[in-house]
Structure formats: C-alpha cells, structure tokens
Structure 1
Amino acid sequence: MEDRPIPGISLTAIPSGTGCLECLNGDGPGWWLHLRRCAQCGHIGCCDSSPSQHASAHARAVGHAVMRSFEPGENWFYQHTTKKFFHGPRLPDPQSRPLDQPAPAPADKVPADWRDHLHR
C-alpha cells in the first residue's frame, strides 16, 4: 500500500526554531505559554492561550490550517477549518521545544502576573 499525502501536512518541513517566531522578533509582549507547529511549513507560533496567538494568526494569514503541538509529550494535530483534533504522521525532528525550555517562555520576558494575560 502506498502512502498518500495528507492535505496540509508536509513530511519534509522542519520547525522554524524552538520558540514563537513572531514573539522572538518583537511582535507583541514577546512571551508565550505553549507552542504550536504549522504542519505544512514548520512555522512555530504561540498557542491561543498566549497573549499574541501567533499560531492561529499564521494559519489565517497564509491558509495553513493544520497545526501540531510543539510541546514535549504531545503529538496531537488540530485542523483550524474543522476545529477538530486528530492523530497524524510523525513530522521531521525536533518533535517539541527543548525539554529544558520553560513554559511560559522565554523566562526573561514572562511577567510575574503572566496568568492574568492568558486568553481563556
């Protein structure tokens, strides 16, 4: 049986880094709670609980509707257009942010009252 491509998922795209690309480039307050990986291009953005919600903004801006968690121990995918979670193929390494990278992060940007800034 031959493997068929899954729309919105690239098996060759590597992550854009180990943190939210936009937060690290100065867009917004510069910190995140959790990270999400675009399954099509590898863009790393912050989750919807984070102040800037860059992963969802990326999906809307470029039409890449499938994301995967970029948190250690999590391997779920999410499809923005259907709003459904699913299991998918293994993507190129790394599978998550480094284990020694805290959440929220980066530590020097996270305010003491960070919980008050989360979207619920």
Structure 2
Amino acid sequence: MTVVSDPHLLMIRPVVPQTPGGCADCLRLGTPWIHLRLCLTCGHVGCCDSSPMRHARAHAHTEGHPIVQSFEPGENWRWCYVDETML
C-alpha cells in the first residue's frame, strides 16, 4: 500500500498543455507573464505568482485544481496551492 502525503496528489491526471505557447488567460487578455505553471488536473497553463495577473493561482482556487507543475524548461517541481507546499 502506498501512503500519499498530500491528499491533493490524488487529483493529478495525465494532461496535455492546453496552451503550450503561454498562459491561456494572458494570451487572451494580452497581458505579460513571467513564469508558467501547468495544472496537473486539466492541463491549463497559467502564469506564476510573480506575474502581474497570477492566473495559475486563480485557476487553482476557482476550479479546485490545487496541484501545478512548473512549465519552465529544465524545471520539474510541483506545488500545492491548498497546502502552500512543494511536492
């Protein structure tokens, strides 16, 4: 039996980035982003908390999809917006 340390990890699904070219909301609004995050429940690509609009966090709270992974080249970490912790 595997012990899951964060219950939100159960929400991770195989995903395909919906907008591999950038933050979905920033692309639609014409706003800038700094770094990108990939929702591991639905594939939404959103901008990070250092970006002006913080779309990844907004998506996590609005849609109830708490786990993201960095969508930056060479980075492979995950973050839970509910528990505010790296996974």
Please, what TM-score do these two structures have when normalized by structure 1? 0.63
Could you say which residue in structure 2 is the equivalent of 1:68? 69
Q: Displacement, 1:82?
A: 1.0
- Give the fraction of aligned pairs with identical amino acids, expressed as a percent: 47
3-state secondary structure, aligned to 1:64: coil
Please, what TM-score do these two structures have when normalized by structure 2? 0.85
Structure number with larger C-alpha Rg: 1
Q: Displacement, 1:23?
A: 0.5
Could you say which residue in structure 1 is the equivalent of 2:17? 15
Q: Which has the bigger relative contact order, CA under 8 A and spacing at least 6?
A: 1
Mark the runs of 5 or more structure 1 residues left unpaired by the alignment: 87-120
C-alpha RMSD over aligned residues: 1.3
Q: Displacement, 1:49?
A: 0.3
3-state secondary structure, aligned to 2:11: coil
Measure, in 1, the Cα distance between the counterparts of 2:59 and 2:77: 18
Measure, in 2, the Cα distance between the counterparts of 1:83 and 1:24: 26
3-state secondary structure, aligned to 2:46: strand
Could you say which residue in structure 2 is the equivalent of 1:34? 35
Deviating 4+ runs (over 4 angstroms) = none
3-state secondary structure, aligned to 1:25: helix
Could you say which residue in structure 2 is the equivalent of 1:58? 59
Measure, in 2, the Cα distance between the counterparts of 1:56 and 1:68: 12
